[in-house]
């Protein structure tokens, strides 16, 4: 039988453990009911008196009638003084609210999502005060919200001219430069940001990401390692470190970092895909399958179903593999790996029956044709079709 591994099924206990751990990290407990804070909480005894009753009275109030009588007796001709305080005719003055400044008004418009009005408000501020760096920062933030990084870059550039030693301004300008493809300039800004703020984590993460983009995983490792040392619970730092370890061939070491990144960023589905890739690289197919099933629950796609089919195939669960591959092709008729998986399964069935079942041969050839139709450049597949004389 044609398989890609001689791997045999291990215990299902480990599969369930990985699946439940990932499900808890992603979904939580799945219930909005408040948790029990403690068990066996001691309830107060009804016979116990509250603390304020146990404190002896320091001073007994003077009886009003006694006070009046004493005053009357001492001076009968005088008017009796009432012991009750007279109500005050003064009412408290409400605090006077300070009117919002034009800058605060512009920032409020931005926060409310009124981007066009916010642009006008920040522009008006600059007409009256061309050196107001906060107005340029507001313009840049508004352009970023409008998904116009080129305009945002111009505003950040002007902000840096006015405030060159502000690490946050330098960082934001670098990020926009990276977004518009000016990675060399972005790299210089990130390095400058580290000189201004040596303990800043985001420049390290971005520098590691840049090196991974350049296929320089070894160069990315020092930046990524420094970021997790500075901020152990920083999700993006853990993710980029896990990716760097995986690319340099340390897949087993990357698994723990993928898991920590998932706990920090449970809504980032790409992290589950990275963990799946790490398990697959370690030939840990139970772990890969558990991860793929969790990913399928959160973000089902043809690619995820193809990975589930591949995991089932590696574990020798061929019928489940076929079902997953079939679902993948139904979602995306151009999913090449899924067609190849269906073809291999049919080819194995045909070989198991001494090449007697023509239905399996035709099914295998049909799947391979559809695979070549979606991706023609597959020399290995073409050689296999000729080797087994499938195209009769």
pLDDT in tens, 173-191: 999 999 999 999 999 999 9
What does the block give as tokens for 214? 């350049």
Q: What is the pLDDT of residue 325?
A: 98
**Is the domain of 121 the same as that of 173?**
yes
Q: Is residue 140 part of a domain?
A: yes
Residue 66 has pLDDT above 70, yes or no: no
Q: Are residues 206 and 187 in the same domain?
A: no
- CATH of residue 143's domain is 1.25.40.10
Do 174 and 221 have their domain in common?
no
* Last residue within a domain, chosen from 282, 305, 335: 282
Residues 191 and 208 in one domain: no
The reply to whether 86 falls in a domain is no
Residue 221 belongs to some domain of the structure: yes
Tell me the C-alpha distance between 179 and 209, whole Å.
12
The token pair that represents 213 in the structure block = 């983009």
Per mean pLDDT, which range of 1-5, 25-29, 68-72, 318-322 is the poorest? 68-72
pLDDT at 89: 56
Q: What is the pLDDT of residue 259?
A: 97
Structure tokens at 31: 């219930």
Q: Is residue 175 part of a domain?
A: yes
**DSSP string for residues in 80-94:** PPPSSPPPP-PPPPP
213 with 239, same domain?
yes
Is there a single domain that holds both residue 117 and residue 184? yes
56-68: average pLDDT:
40
d(CA 288, CA 300): 16
Answer yes or no: do 159 and 182 share one domain. Answer: yes
> Which pLDDT score is estimated for 33?
41
148 and 184 share a domain? yes
**Residue 38 counted as domain residue:** no
Question: Is there a single domain that holds both residue 191 and residue 212?
Answer: no
- What is the per-residue pLDDT for 392? 78
What's the confidence (pLDDT) of residue 98? Answer: 82
Domain carrying residue 392? 324-392
More confidently predicted of 80 and 230: 230
Are 143 and 151 contacting, i.e. CB atoms less than 8 angstroms apart?
yes
Residue 337 lies in a domain: yes
How many of the other CB atoms lie within 10 Å of CB of 190? 24
Q: Confidence class of residue 391 from pLDDT cuts 50, 70 and 90?
A: confident
Q: Is the pLDDT of residue 260 over 60?
A: yes
**DSSP 3-state of 250:** coil
Question: Which of these three, 165, 196, 227, is where a domain ends?
Answer: 196
Find, among 31, 286, 203, 355, the residue nearest to 211 by Cα.
203
The pLDDT score that the predictor gives to residue 204 is 98
Residues 166 and 219 in one domain: no
Which residues does 189 contact at the CB level (< 8 Å), separation at least 6?
170, 171, 173, 174, 177
| CATH number of the domain residue 332 falls in | 1.25.40
Position 94 scores a pLDDT of 64
Question: Which two tokens mark 360?
Answer: 């399996």
Residues contacting residue 257 through CB under 8 Å, at least 6 positions apart: 228, 238, 239, 241, 242, 245
Better pLDDT: 150 or 16? 150
pLDDT, tens digit, for every residue of 343-380?
A: 999 999 999 999 999 999 999 999 999 999 999 999 99
pLDDT in tens, 73-123: 444 444 434 444 455 555 666 666 788 899 999 999 999 999 999 999 999
**Radius of gyration for the alpha carbons in the chain, expressed in angstroms and rounded:** 35
State whether 246 and 170 are in the same domain: no
| Choice between 20 and 209, residue whose per-residue pLDDT is larger | 209
The answer to whether residue 231 sits within a structural domain is yes
* % pLDDT > 70, the chain: 76
Is the separation of the CB atoms in 115 and 143 below 8 Å? no
The domain boundary residue, chosen from 169, 196, 223: 196
Residue 167 resides in a domain: yes
Same domain, 212 and 262: yes
In the chain, the number of structural domains is 3
């Amino acid at each position: 039988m044609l398989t890609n591994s001689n791997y045999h099924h291990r215990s299902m206990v480990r599969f369930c453990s990985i699946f439940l751990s990932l499900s808890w990290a992603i979904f939580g407990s799945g219930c909005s009911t408040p948790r029990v804070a403690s068990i066996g909480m001691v309830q107060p005894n009804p016979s116990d008196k509250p603390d304020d009753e146990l404190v002896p009275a320091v001073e007994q109030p003077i009886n009003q009638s006694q006070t009046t009588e004493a005053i009357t007796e001492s001076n009968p001709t005088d008017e009796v003084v009432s012991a009750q305080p007279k109500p005050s005719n003064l009412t408290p003055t409400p605090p006077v609210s300070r009117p919002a400044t034009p800058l605060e008004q512009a920032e409020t418009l931005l926060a409310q999502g009124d981007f066009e009005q916010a642009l006008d408000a920040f522009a008006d501020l600059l007409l009256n005060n061309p050196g107001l760096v906060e107005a340029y920062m507001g313009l840049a933030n508004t352009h970023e919200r409008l998904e116009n990084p080129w305009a945002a870059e111009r505003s950040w550039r002007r902000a840096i001219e006015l405030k060159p030693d502000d690490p946050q301004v330098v960082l934001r300008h670098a990020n926009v430069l990276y977004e518009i493809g000016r990675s060399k300039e972005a790299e210089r800004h990130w390095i400058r940001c580290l000189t201004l703020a040596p303990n800043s984590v985001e420049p390290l993460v971005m520098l590691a990401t840049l090196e991974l983009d350049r296929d320089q995983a070894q160069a990315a490792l020092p930046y990524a390692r420094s970021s997790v040392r500075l901020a152990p619970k920083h999700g993006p730092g853990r993710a980029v470190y896990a990716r760097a370890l995986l690319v340099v061939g340390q897949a087993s070491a990357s698994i723990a970092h993928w898991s920590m990144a998932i706990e920090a960023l449970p809504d980032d589905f790409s992290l589950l895909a990275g963990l799946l890739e790490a398990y697959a690289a370690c030939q840990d197919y139970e772990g890969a399958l558990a991860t793929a099933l969790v990913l399928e629950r959160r973000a089902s796609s043809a690619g995820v179903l193809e990975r589930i089919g591949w995991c089932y195939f590696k574990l020798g669960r061929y019928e489940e593999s076929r079902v997953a591959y079939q679902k993948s092709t139904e979602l995306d008729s151009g999913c090449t790996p899924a067609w190849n998986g269906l073809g291999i399964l049919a080819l194995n069935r045909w070989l198991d029956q001494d090449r007697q079942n023509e239905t399996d041969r035709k099914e295998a050839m049909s799947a391979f044709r559809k695979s070549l139709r979606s991706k023609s450049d597959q020399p290995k597949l073409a050689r296999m079709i000729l080797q087994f004389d499938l195209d009769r």
